[in-house]
Amino acid sequence: MGFTLSALFETPEQEAARLAAAPEGSKNHDLSLLPVTIREWPQDLLIALPGTKHQVVVVPFEFWPDAGTTDEKRPRRRYSGSWVCAVVHSNHPDYPVGGHRILVPAAELARGARASIEGTRPPA
């Protein structure tokens, strides 16, 4: 008797449909319209958050699983949980740089853009 991975984990289409079921204008609904761009474990990556008029770049450093993820519901959600992130660049008034930490859903980080600090150098 065989099984498929789709029986264990949400497919990308199932995840997009779940996010799209959120009310229009909500963050989850908006995320359902964006492609996944970061597939690796995001810890310690520089990630520009998607879908905002402000620029916010974060470094995820601590993962928090969703409450209730220890139960064995199938299929398991893709990009579940949230990350504690340090804000390293921002022009958003609510998220200043300089030790500010925010909690970002894994689904949002997966749809962000890898950022870099190439071309910068330490002050002389």
Secondary structure tally for the chain: helices H, strands E: 4, 5
Name the stretches of the chain with pLDDT < 70. Answer: 1-7, 68-74, 118-124
Which helix (H) or strand (E) segment is 20 a member of?
helix 12-20
pLDDT at 6: 56
State the pLDDT at residue 80.
Answer: 85
Please give the pLDDT value at position 53.
Answer: 84
Q: Fill in the DSSP letter of residue 110.
A: H
Distance CA 82, CA 64 (A): 5
Confidence at residue 73, expressed as pLDDT on a 0 to 100 scale: 65
pLDDT value at residue 93: 84
pLDDT (0 to 100) of residue 98: 78
pTM over 0.85: no
